[in-house]
Amino acid sequence: MAAVNGLAYGGGCELVLISDIAIASEEAKFALPEARIGAWVPIFSVFGPVLVGHKAAHEMLMSTEPISSHRAMELGLVNRVVPNDQVREATVELAGKIMISAPTSLRITKETVNQYLVRHLSEFYIACKRFWHETTKTEDYMEGASAFLEKRPPQYKGR
């Protein structure tokens, strides 16, 4: 379970994506800003199209713009949106409801629902190795990282 009461950017957004259940505050924001520094977003690139939809994944990955918790719920990135001061309470309450069920039933349910993700882990690993190394060796990646650290706009060259 994920409970988001603030910003879930980059890897944080990816953790929410692969969580079984996610609850967010009304003010939570989700974004994948990696493209702005020339980086690749591995988990969301592979699983996002299946879990939030092809077009929504493309928009989040390419625009890098934050989305609201309500938009995240529309996409299926989060299950519920609650007032800011109720995120912990709502998460604990839902966890309690889940915990009264039979552990074996929950395990089998989780395995069944997550079949797609598990079945594609080897493809994910291969893609990660290839694209991570390919991305981090580009001039654009180096420029993006330098520009970020120097707090200036990047000057990308497409290589």
Show which residues are catalytic: 14, 34
> Six-digit token pair at 114?
């997550």
Cβ density class 82-92: b for 16+ within 10 Å, e for less: beeeebeebbe
Query: In this structure, what are the phi and psi dihedrals at residue 22, rounded to the nearest 5 degrees?
Result: -140, 135
Closest C-alpha to 5, from 82, 66, 65, 70: 82
| Helix, strand, coil in percent for the chain, rounding step 5 | 60, 10, 25
